[in-house]
Amino acid sequence: MNSDSDLQIAGDILEVPHLLQPPREHPSTVAEFAGLARALAADRAQWEPLVQYDATSRWYHRLRTGPGYEVWLLSWVPGQGTGPHGHGRSSGVLTVLDGVLTERSERGVRALGAGVQRVFGAGYAHEVVNDTLSPAVSLHVYFPGLTEMPVVPGVGLGACAPATPPASLGAV
């Protein structure tokens, strides 16, 4: 009888490329959309020169579109926020690229630092705000593309509650 330590898989997966799926030109699963957002976030040279800051309203730029999805780049100066809202029939991936954003939802208040991703389905409601003293930048992937952001009263029920900073950020 073999023990688990004696168990081996024959061959090397890299030696059987016919088993590997080619990367898709356009994502079609939640995991692929999250992967697209991570890849775009890692390519700072692509998005950083596009970022602008506007003291009067949140700045946004459509970075990419594909069949059934769109990618937006947003900047947030201190104090800017979305107000409580939903995303209609769209699901999404929110990735913080720089700074810290606070998300308020029925699940509570949480600080989202650079590199943090939030994946949400259709019907998810929240409020996002930059309540720090530094600007922030975020990347948003919506599938299908965002066609509405209905106001959802009551989402920011602890709107005055401070976010708990992520352990990696220390005090904000």
Q: Note the pLDDT tens digit of each residue in 89-109.
A: 888 999 999 999 999 998 899
Does a structural domain hold residue 26? yes
More confident residue, 164 or 58: 58
- Residue 61 among known ligand-binding residues: no
Q: Does residue 3 surpass a pLDDT of 60?
A: no
Q: pLDDT digits over 21-35, tens only?
A: 555 677 888 888 899
Contact 70, 146 (CB under 8 A): yes
Does a structural domain hold residue 77? yes
CA 108 vs CA 74, 128, 141: distances in Å: 23, 12, 23
**What is the extent of the structural domain holding 95?**
9-143
Q: What is the pLDDT of residue 123?
A: 85
Does a structural domain hold residue 151? no
Contact 41, 92 (CB under 8 A): no
Please count the structural domains in the chain.
1
Does a structural domain hold residue 169? no
| pLDDT class of 19 with cuts at 50, 70, 90 | low
Does a structural domain hold residue 135? yes
- Residue 87 among known ligand-binding residues: yes
- Residue 18 among known ligand-binding residues: no
Does a structural domain hold residue 150? no
Does a structural domain hold residue 24? yes
Does a structural domain hold residue 166? no
| 58-62, 119-123, 167-171: range with lowest mean pLDDT | 167-171
